[in-house]
Amino acid sequence: MTIERIESNDRMSKVVKHNGTLYLCGQTASAPEWDITEQTQRCLDKVDALLTENGSDRNKLLSVTIYVRDMKDFAAMNAVWDAWVAGFEKPARACVEARMARPELLVEFSVIAAQ
């Protein structure tokens, strides 16, 4: 059993590979001027890049957990999400409202994918 940890630091790894499965750390993107639409798109762009760098893609998504700071943003986040997964196999998904680590964060994605 091989476990590969990529870009690890004292707190976490950016990606963990185990038995052909990728576990991505929570993906966030924020700037004070970015709304939920911009943050969601930038997070998903980061997910795409990490999947590609690690031999995977959107068709191999297994599970995604989405954390939103406020459910009032649910519809706007879903509009970006729906466009992003259009034409791809859909993963299992959960979405919850959560207090974020920093006040400017509006959304965070936790992703598990096959390689």
Q: What is the pLDDT of residues 42-65, one digit of tens each?
A: 999 999 999 999 999 999 999 999
Judged against a pLDDT cut of 80, whether residue 34 lies above it is answered with yes
Domains defined along the chain, listed by start: 3-114 (3.30.1330.40)
Distance CA 105, CA 29 (A): 7
Structure tokens that stand for 7 in this block: 């870009």
Distance CA 37, CA 80 (A): 7
Alpha carbon separation from 4 to 9, 13, 16, 44, 52 (Å, rounded): 14, 10, 6, 23, 16
Structure tokens that stand for 106 in this block: 């509006």
pTM over 0.85: yes
Alpha carbon separation from 57 to 18, 36, 47, 75, 114 (Å, rounded): 16, 23, 9, 25, 8
Distance CA 7, CA 23 (A): 13
Distance CA 110, CA 27 (A): 7
Task: Tell me the pLDDT band of 18, cut-offs 50, 70 and 90.
Answer: very high
Task: Tell me the pLDDT band of 15, cut-offs 50, 70 and 90.
Answer: very high
Judged against a pLDDT cut of 80, whether residue 112 lies above it is answered with yes
pLDDT at residue 96, as a whole number: 98
Judged against a pLDDT cut of 80, whether residue 1 lies above it is answered with no
